[in-house]
Structure formats: C-alpha cells, structure tokens
Structure 1
C-alpha cells in the first residue's frame, strides 16, 4: 500500500485501530523518504546526478555545491558556496552566463564523460559542459568518471579508479580566488587562469572587469576594464608585486607563492592558520578586495582594497611621467628628468596629465655623454616593453642598457638579497607611480646636460646636507662642552664648600676642646656611627625633647650611651659648647660620667658611659634641668 492509498484509507476508515496503524506506517515512510533525500555526498556519478534542491557536501562539510538564486533574482545557477556560514557566499558559478528559469535543472555525468547541466530531464542539449574529450577506450565499467567536491572548494572531474583529473573548477574560476587556487597561464597547454567580476549582485554573469596576467614582455598582473588596462599590480620583483605594497602586510599571516619560468606563470596563496576563512574577490566596480570571516561578528571583514587613489589608475599621468599621490594640494603629475609635457596647455592649465611627457627638444641620449640618474621608491614602469635577464649585477645591467640607444631605463629584476637580475625598458615609460613604502629604484637614461645638472644639484644638496651635519655636530659639541664645564664648576664649588665646612667643623671642634676641657676627648662622627650601628633603631634606648639616646660599643670594647641632639632642638654652637663645659664641671660619682662629645657636619652628640642598672632618663635627660637650675643660681 503506497502513501497515497494510506492517506485515503486513513480518511475513509472508521476503525480507530486501523487509523492508528496506517498513521504509524505513513510516518515511518515519511521519515525514510526524508532521510534518503537529506543524505548528501560529495560525488556525482553517471548513475547519481544532482537535481535542483539537492546538494553535494565536501567531506569536511566546509563547502556545498547546488542550485541557487543570487540576490533578488529568480534565475537558477549551479554554484559552490561556504556550507556553514549564515551568509550564503558563492565562490564559483558554472553556468554564469546561461541561467535556468525554473527549478527543473539537473547536473549529471554524460555518457562521453563530461559533466553537463541540462534545463530539465527532457533536454538533449546541455546549457553548460566541461567540454573534455575522453577516449573511447576509457569509457568502460572499470573507468567510471565521477565529479567530486573537495574540501578546498575544487570540483574535480576524474576517472575514479586511476584518479586521473580530466577537469577542475579551480582551472575555471569566476570572481573569487581561494587558498590553493591559481592565477596565471600555461602557454604549452594554452590555459589561462583569471578572475572576472559579476555583472551585478543579482547576476553572476561575466562582468566588465578581469584580473589576469599579461603574456607580453615581463609577466605582470593587470586589472582590465573590458580590454583596456584599468589598474596594474605590476610584476613580481622577488618579494611582492610592485603595485601591491599592501601585500607585504598579508604575507605575515599567509604564504604567497609565485612561480615563473619560460612558458608558465602561477600565483597562489594559503593561510598559515588553516582555520582562517579568507577569499580575494574582483568586485563589479573593478576593485580587488580581500576578506576574512569573523566568527564573533558573523560577517566578512575587508582587509585591503585596490586601487586606492587616482595614481593607481593606469596611465593617469601618461608616459614618461611620475604620479605622486602625496601631492595633496599640487598637481600629482611630474615629468621625468629630461622630459617635458607633450600638451603644455592641458598639463599646466587643465591639470590633465594623461597626455604624458616627451623628451626635451635638442637632447641626445645616444653616444653623446649621456648617463643614468636614480629615481627612488617607485612602482616601476609597465614591463610590457621590458626585457628580463637573470644572473646580471646592477653594474652589468647598466652596461646592458648602454649598449642599446633605445634603452630608456633599467632596474634590478629581483630585490631579494641585495638585488639581482636585470630589467631593461625600451621606448616610452608608462604608468610610473611614487610609493611611500616598498618602492623600487629606477635608473633613468638622461643626456649629458641633464646629467651634469643632476650631479650639480646632488652635490649642492650633499654640501647643504654636509654643512647641516657639521653645524649640528658643532652645536652638540658646544652644548656638551658647556655641560662639562658647568658640571666641573659645580663639583669644584661643592668640594670647596665641603672643605670650608670641614675646616669650620675642625675649628669648632678645636675651640670646643680648648674651651671645654683639655682632657675631654672628641669623637669623630664616623666612630660614633660605627659604635651605634648608624644610630639604628635596635640600639635606641630612649627619646627626649632634645634628642635620642643610643647604646653603642667602641672598638676597645667599652659600652657607651650616645645622646644625639635633634637638629630641631634650637640649640646653637655656643649653647652646645657651654653645655659640654658645664657637664665636665659637674662630673660626680653619683652622676653618669661624660666620656666625650662630637661636633661634626652639624651633628651634636654627647658620649656617656653606659650604666645598665640605672635610669639614663634621669641622668641624661634630667641634666638639662640641672643645667637650667645652675644658670638660675
């Protein structure tokens, strides 16, 4: 009994048990059908096509392939997108210029081994195909052709048992470059890998802008608007593309690979951190932008975008001129040395530099004493008319350019390790730009008059620079000399003051000794500090209004008590001398004996014998009271 009959029987029958049984069986049938419909694999085979509504899911579940409608469009396309992101981001489209108008499309493997897209089952002519030729001998049961979606978003058509690749989507990108994908060309196989923008957000058809490598002269990356150069990233100089200085920053988190030999050029990249989701996109506006997915903000974050200003546009200042975007208020275009505006009126009045510059009249750069001047930090000229030679030094490159009167400039081909290889330009120099960072030096051919003026200005500049350096050195020397003199004067002044102070102290000590008692010893400040351990807290016996008392031990072993008068006591030199004299006169067997004193460096200290069984508070701090009573008498 099929599901329709079950449903009919469920509606018409009146038996509750029979209704329950039919409902149970129908539910199981629905679940089984849903399971088989929702089960997705990563492979298309001859017997297993993909219809609209079904998906291929890569093994890691990172990418999905299926039918989709972009933006507000109702047209159906076959594409690849990120499977687990909340925003559907399509990275590849098969039938970008041949949409399907309904949901009847089917993607399958044809008997001749091609992956084909039909509008419906009855269609005999595919609207899109991989167009590969499979020999009849390989079309047998053991050589089954399959199409498999890999974990890097590459749809690969291959012979299943030998894994021989017949076709891959990475060889036919649309507007997005993913990690491990290539840009470049192979002349032997007549293949070219390039990016083309969408027409609009609602139409993934081939747009106006194409990012690809030129095959003329030294290979370089261009952005074309239809067939015209719109922006030039330039050639690979061994470290980066000369017109993509922002790439240097990204190379800290990614590995950029560039391979170039006779007939093959390939650029690819991958992230050091494999968990980072990133892509490079050519937008409908012609801008090339890099994005990475932010899981916290659940949105794409843009890292850089090119072009960034007027000077990035191809040929803004025409030929034989330099475009400098740092000239905010002034005209951005400047003729190279030895050249003048081709159309002066447009150049000076209209500020239109697109006409470029021409060699000044009467100048000769062929066997007439000409030479080369260095122009620093540039996006060097378009290399379509340049010749690259490896293994030459910079001096050998100069000689190579000298040999040909048509050679207008030269530069190193590879800037790594101090520079190697040779690039020589012939004829007009196109699309030169002044760069603030990661620029390259260009050696420009000029006639003897321009060369002489250049070296004259250079010498004048160097003379001014040398004079400025000498002046700065002189000023610094004078400042240092004056500083040394000042420091020496201050040191001498300090030493003089210390000597005067010590002399005054010595005189005062001598006066104190002569005026007090001839037999009363004078202790040095150092002796007392040593005895009392610098008047440490652990040696402190007490404190009174005029100072503190410390216990100490002289080098001969005698234990002493030192009264250190406070500097805030208000007692002057004479008062201290009088007190010492009075204490000497008051020596008595019932009073603690005064052993000496110290008067040094504005310190006033009295040294007593130490009596452990008596109160020094009475004998020492009470002494001032006795002294006051004597004076009153």
Structure 2
C-alpha cells in the first residue's frame, strides 16, 4: 500500500469520525423527545460522572455505561447492555411509549437490546432519566420526582458509595456484583459477590456458584474477615438486617474523594481511591490475595494462619487432629480435622477453649440470639451437645449478643490482632490441658503434628506417630508437664526434646 493511499484512508477515517460526532450533544436529562445517541454524553449535575456509549479495551462492540467524567483513564463502573453488545455506532437510548428506558440499534425500533421493563401505566411524557451526583442513573416521574427505576438496583462489577449489596425482601431485588468476562468484555463473568442469608447473613464471593472467598458475618463494626475496612475518616459503613432487607453500603465523609470497590475478571476484589495528583487509582485493600483467603483452605475444624511464613499454615482447632496425617505432611490440609478418638463432648465435663483473633467460621449453620450476654451464650451452648462454638455477635457498644455454631466449623482464619475470639467446645481432657499449658500450646502442638522439623538445631526429627505418643504420655510433676517415656536407650537429645514438647 502506497503512502498516498494510506494518507487517503486516514483522511477518510477522520472525516467519518467527524461526521459521526458532529451531532454529539451533552445532555442533563433524557426524555421521549430527547434521546441519547452514540456519541452523546449524559452528565451528572456536578459533572463528576458521565453516561454514554463506549468500547472496552480492544473491543469494537458498543455498550451503554457510566464512568468517571474527570478521570483521564476511562473507568467504567456500570454497564446496561453488558450481555447484548451493539456491533456499530447506531445505538440510541430513549424512553418509549410504555415509559421504559429502551436501547435500540440498527434502525430496529421494535426489538430492544436492553430495557428497564417496568410495565408502568404512567404517561411517557411525564418521565425523565437523569444521572445523579451519586452516579445513580434514575428514571423518575415529573414533576413529583417519584422514583421508578435506578441503576443502583442493578450493579455490575463495582460497588459505588451509597450503592447497596444484599437483598430487598419486599421487591426481591438482589443487589449482587458480577465480574466482567475480561477487560475487553463486560459480559457477566464467573465471579459474584453477594450477602448469603442462609443461617446468619455473611459476605461471600462465589466462583461459578462455588464458595471462593468469605468476608464473614457483620460483627457490628465490620465484616469479620475484613478487619482492615471499618469506619474511619474516609467513609462510614452501614449494615441493615431486618424483615424488609439485608443490606450493606458505605458512604463517603468527603464527597470530593473518589473511592470504589471493584471486582476484576479474575475475582479479585479491590478497594481503591483516586489520587488527584496523578489520576491513578491506589489500591489499599484486596481479597483474596493469599492461600488462607481461599474458602476453607484448611478444611473442616481447621484454622489457617497466613503468618506462619516458614511453616504449614494449617492447624487443627483444640480437641481436633488431622483426618489424614499423611496429607498434612505433604502440606495438604483440605481434608480438615476430626475430634480426637474417644473424646466425649456431651455431659462429660466438657467446656470451651478460646481461639484468639480469627475470622469466625462459616455462619450457614449458626444462630444468633442478640439478647444474650457472652456468659449466657456459653451456658446456652454448653447445654446443647450439638453446639460446637460460640462468640459475641456484635462488637459495637462494648459487645453483645450470642452467635453459636452447630456442626463442623469451616473457613477459620488467623487475623493478627484484629479478629474475633472464638470459643470452641472441647472434651474434658483437652480442657484440662488447655488450662494447664496456656493458649499457645495448640499452635505448637499442631506444628509438631503437621511434621515440622526439630525445635533446635541438632535435635533429631520425629515422626507423626511418635509425636502423638509423646503428647499422649505427658504428666504433671511440680506444676510442669514431663514425658512418661523414659529409658537409658533413649538419645539424650531425644529425652530433652520429649521434655520440651511436654512443657509446651
């Protein structure tokens, strides 16, 4: 292709773009007589947000979307026709005779690519659409401003300030985030973020319908598994759980700040804030990021500790041991843990051991009693042999309420110093041990049972069976636990190791 031909084609392309955009308008409302064409832009009153047609990434398809108007890099956070793209620039968004927002293209006025589908009987000449300063795209009746439809009821992949996540019990509207298929395709992807109401409501991320990450239940001030996100100088959080709705949203204390919670096509949830200096989005929280973030990584009755940098991250809860010690030696804790053989936890002197600072277990099989104190919660759980653990249900106002679990305890994770204290039901022998050796004994014991190497250079490695034998043959002498296993045939280092293990 010659240089003159290239110049001619470039000039023709530029002319077509000019002709296409020469009629473009900036709108503040959409009416039946004032539609939005491809190339037009609907702006919010503060002009922070824009609605119009766009093509994502390297795609040539056209979609109706909302983005930040004053951010250099187009950041789209809502898409109308995400699963019904337009192949050219003939798209028009208007209000039809039924009073619905109606997206059509290709000179086809009867079959919409997308519609609000309200089936109202309101005269269309009294209905207008506008983009609010909160980024909410609304359809309302004038002049009463009665709200008929809003984009906030139909999220895409981003939770904007004041947009709800959850379920409206009255209208059955499900406020759910769904990822894009890819950066070039905003179609419904594989990941969904929602509030699961089975048992006690909790935040869940699903991958193709299967649990992928769990934010846990709302604990009064924050989600149990998201301690980094709480009320602060940037935003305030709100959670509602009543007969009308179960919902969560966050508001900004400073409306000049741009902040969003977005889910990328890989299922990564990120909370980001815009830096006005360079126009970049800075991430300050994300999940899932590490092994322990993945749902039930250590299986039933396991506790995942991401801070065990050089050790196996899985440990069994007090009173439990690995179902498959061989798998744990291979660093696979997915099989979880089971009660120690012969342990009785029903009217046999059992009690509770506190496991500190964790994301509380999956609450699908949990029950909340908000009128009970922590002590009353313990007594209630102790009377019911099927109750396996309990904790405070709400950390606000000094802590109140009872959250109790029944059955296996799933998806527990160590959370440095910011998690909840979980009280786990144990048999009488485990209870005595725990009181004698302290809270940290169980972490040390599980490191041994999971096949960790020697405690001190020069000490020989022990097998899982021998470690169990040592731990099962310790007895108290003068307030300290020592091993009953003695003999002149034992290596001095091994005798010392036995004593070290028994001492905790």
Partner residue in 1 for 2:496: none
Please state if 1:431 is matched with 2:411: yes
Q: Aligned in 2, Cα 1:266/1:431: closer, same or farther, shift over 3 Å?
A: same
Deviation at 1:36, TM superposition (A): 9.7
Please state if 1:403 is matched with 2:387: no
- Which of structures 1 and 2 has the larger relative contact order (alpha carbons within 8 angstroms, sep 6+)? 2
Measured against aligned partners, the alpha-carbon deviations of 1:451-486 in whole angstroms (never above 9, x if no partner) come to: 12222223999x9xx99xxxxxxxxxxxxxxxxxxx
Partner residue in 2 for 1:151: 133
Please state if 1:220 is matched with 2:202: yes
Partner residue in 2 for 1:384: 364
Q: Is the 8 A contact 2:179 2:190 kept in 1?
A: yes
Partner residue in 2 for 1:587: none
Partner residue in 2 for 1:272: 253
Partner residue in 2 for 1:188: 170
Counterparts of 1:122 and 1:266, CA distance in 2:
39
Three-state SS of the structure 1 residue aligned to 2:27 is coil
Partner residue in 1 for 2:276: 295
> Where do 5+ consecutive residues of structure 1 fail to align?
1-32, 468-633
Partner residue in 1 for 2:81: 95
Deviation at 1:162, TM superposition (A): 2.2
Could you tell me which of 209, 215, 219 is aligned with 2:191? 209
Deviation at 1:61, TM superposition (A): 1.1
Q: Which has the higher strand share?
A: 2
Three-state SS of the structure 1 residue aligned to 2:338 is strand
Deviation at 1:182, TM superposition (A): 1.0
Measured against aligned partners, the alpha-carbon deviations of 1:296-321 in whole angstroms (never above 9, x if no partner) come to: 11222222211231111111000101
Cα RMSD over matched residues? 2.3
Deviation at 1:131, TM superposition (A): 1.4
Could you tell me which of 31, 54, 57 is aligned with 2:43? 57
Q: Is the 8 A contact 1:187 1:264 kept in 2?
A: yes
Q: Which has the higher helix share?
A: 1
Could you tell me which of 80, 95, 106 is aligned with 2:92? 106
Deviation at 1:417, TM superposition (A): 3.1
Q: Is the 8 A contact 2:239 2:246 kept in 1?
A: yes
Three-state SS of the structure 2 residue aligned to 1:413 is strand
Alignment of 1:15-26 (within 5 A): none
Deviation at 1:139, TM superposition (A): 2.5
Largest Rg, 1 or 2: 1
Deviation at 1:150, TM superposition (A): 1.0
Q: Is the 8 A contact 2:27 2:40 kept in 1?
A: no
> Where do 5+ consecutive residues of structure 2 fail to align?
1-18, 442-475, 481-504
Measured against aligned partners, the alpha-carbon deviations of 1:564-586 in whole angstroms (never above 9, x if no partner) come to: xxxxxxxxxxxxxxxxxxxxxxx
Partner residue in 1 for 2:453: none
- TM (normalized to structure 1)? 0.65
Measured against aligned partners, the alpha-carbon deviations of 1:189-230 in whole angstroms (never above 9, x if no partner) come to: 211111111111111111111111001011111111110111
Partner residue in 1 for 2:26: 40
- TM (normalized to structure 2)? 0.81
Q: Aligned in 2, Cα 1:49/1:173: closer, same or farther, shift over 3 Å?
A: same
Q: Is the 8 A contact 2:97 2:124 kept in 1?
A: no
Moved more, 78-87 or 427-436: 78-87
Partner residue in 1 for 2:229: 247
Deviation at 1:120, TM superposition (A): 2.9
Three-state SS of the structure 1 residue aligned to 2:310 is coil
Alignment of 1:170-569 (within 5 A): 170-248=152-230, 251-348=232-329, 350-458=330-438
Deviation at 1:335, TM superposition (A): 0.9
Counterparts of 1:404 and 1:308, CA distance in 2:
37
Three-state SS of the structure 1 residue aligned to 2:397 is helix
Q: Is the 8 A contact 2:218 2:224 kept in 1?
A: yes
Measured against aligned partners, the alpha-carbon deviations of 1:28-73 in whole angstroms (never above 9, x if no partner) come to: xxxxx99994542221111111111111111111111111101110
Deviation at 1:155, TM superposition (A): 0.8
Partner residue in 2 for 1:27: none
Counterparts of 1:171 and 1:49, CA distance in 2:
22
